[in-house]
Amino acid sequence: MTPDPARRASTLRLHPNDDVLIAKEALPAGTVVETEPGPVRLTQDVGAGHKIAFRARAPGEPVHRYGQVIGVASAPIAPGDHVHTHNLERGERRQDYQLGLEAPPFPRPPPGEVRTFQGYLRPDGRVGTRNYIAIISTVNCSASVSRLVKDRFRDVSRDHPGIDGVIALTHRGGCGHVVDGDDHLRLERVLAGYASHPNVAGCALLGLGCEVVQPARLLERQRLAGEGGRPPPVVVIQDAGGVRRAVEAASAEVERLLPRAAAARRTPQPISHLVLGTNCGGSDGYSGITANPALGFAVDELIRQGGTAVLGETPEIYGAEQLLVRRAVTAAVAQKLLDRIDWWRGYLRSYHADVDHNPSPGNIAGGITTVLEKALGGVAKGGTSPLVDVVRYAEPVAAPGLVFMDTPGFDPVSVTGIVAGGANLLAFTTGRGSVFGCKPVPSLKLASNSDVYRRMEEDMDLDCGVILNGVSIEETGRRILEALIAVASGERTKSELLGIGEEEFDPWLSGPTL
């Protein structure tokens, strides 16, 4: 059969060593596509973003995408076959780590090329991209009261245009934890990170009184200080005399915070003050081809300007950690990452699970087959910059450059930790259409394909699917950087316009509930 000329541009080959092509659109069985070895006829229907074999693979033989092994054939694979969960599995994985092999010095721009944004300079020298007041629950038992307080300030931006809003940050934890155990200490770090966040002009802590996470101890241990070195106000429901009185007391504290927050003004600041959190959710077969590498280009440009980018989702970089290890600036930084990978292996084993529980059903429907494949696409968000540090969940991010934070893959939990670490801006890539927001930080959503962008245009901020039609990764990456600078300067993201981002506050709780 003569190859159909219309199908010659319908696939992508990402690396010379690859064994598979990626379908740029849904292709029916019988379609002939051009490959380097010659025309290949599809033996099955292949969905958009899914893989097509153009080399035969026997059971047990490795299959390559991105020039890396994404798994082994679990059944015979012939040229033209759809390669997916029915004939590809992770297989045994042995990794040879080469520490610091690709960590060259990263160039800085000349002084005349330094970029700026309009941000809120805070007393501690950090810069905010938004100007919120937060009511922070120390325990789930104070969550409803926190929301009642917030409801009194729904129109705050009308009366105080310089304030982005009053938000209630509530969660399901705060008690029932092992005292000074992992969950207790992680939750304290999260609450402290939000209380002192550069996007939060002021906050009040709201507790019940008998919880494990005691507000007074939180203030002391986390060394929280507000204006003039004074700690943020605390309201305890039991001490206040119940719900109504606690609402009145907390509302009065918020009223006292309003004038100072309203007086804050945006001023020109170098983009070296931007701490960009990155995350991907609802990934598809295009995420690692379009949105993620384009974001990686923007990350490199931000870091070149002295800024910081945070990569997370530890279970979702399993299979690509060797690429980050090669870029570690020291052996100690590389070892910190490998130690976190080892922790996750043991943690999952304790629940009779392993990393093969990733990818999710939505990822699989979008064309991702194994966790190795997902990881190789996901790590592209980190660009090519050297890895300067690895931090635990919700630890402060202090070093400029590319930093890895140990977080779960679940988007709200992952981003909560990254924001607590100090990220004042978020870039979120999606191939299936995640509608993620994360107050008090703006979330710029990057669609990996144009179909999702068109179908969900009210939710997606930027279409990275144009890369499939010939727009370069570099050009798209520059568009992302310009959009990030505009958002950091006050331009609203789609999720902000829709009011999304408060319920997504979700600190990581991994241990027993007592």
pLDDT in tens, 308-327: 999 999 998 988 999 999 99
Residue 106 has pLDDT above 80, yes or no: no
pTM: 0.92
The helix/strand/coil state of 413 is helix
Pick the CATH number of 5-89 from 2.30.130.110, 3.20.20.70, 3.40.50.10310, 3.30.930.10: 2.30.130.110
pLDDT at 5: 44
pLDDT value at 2 more than 60: no
What pLDDT, in 10s, does the model give residues 261-313? 999 999 999 999 999 999 999 888 889 999 999 999 999 999 999 999 999 99
Question: What is the predicted pLDDT for the residue at 110?
Answer: 65
What's the chain's average pLDDT? 92
Query: In CATH, what number does 272-335+378-497 get?
Result: 3.40.50
Q: What 8-state DSSP symbol labels residue 77?
A: B
What is the predicted pLDDT for the residue at 368? 84
Strand 62-65 versus strand 40-41 pairing type: unpaired
High-pLDDT (> 90) share of the chain, %: 77
Cα distance between residue 266 and residue 40, in whole Å: 58
| Interval 347-368 mean pLDDT | 82
What is the model's pLDDT at position 100?
66
Task: Provide mean pLDDT across the span 123-133.
Answer: 97
CB neighbourhood size of 297 (10 A): 22
Query: Stretch 243-256: mean pLDDT, rounded?
Result: 98
pLDDT of 125 reads 95
Amino acid at 90: R
Domain ranges of the chain: 5-89, 132-263, 272-335+378-497
pLDDT surpassing 70 at residue 107: no
The reply to whether 5-89 and 132-263 are identical in fold is no
Question: What pLDDT score does 365 carry?
Answer: 86
Fold of 132-263: Rossmann fold (3.40.50)
CA angle 397, 398, 402 (to 5 degrees): 70
148-170: average pLDDT: 96
Mean pLDDT of 393-414: 96
Taking the C-alpha atoms of residue 135 and residue 360, their distance in angstroms, rounded to an integer, is 34
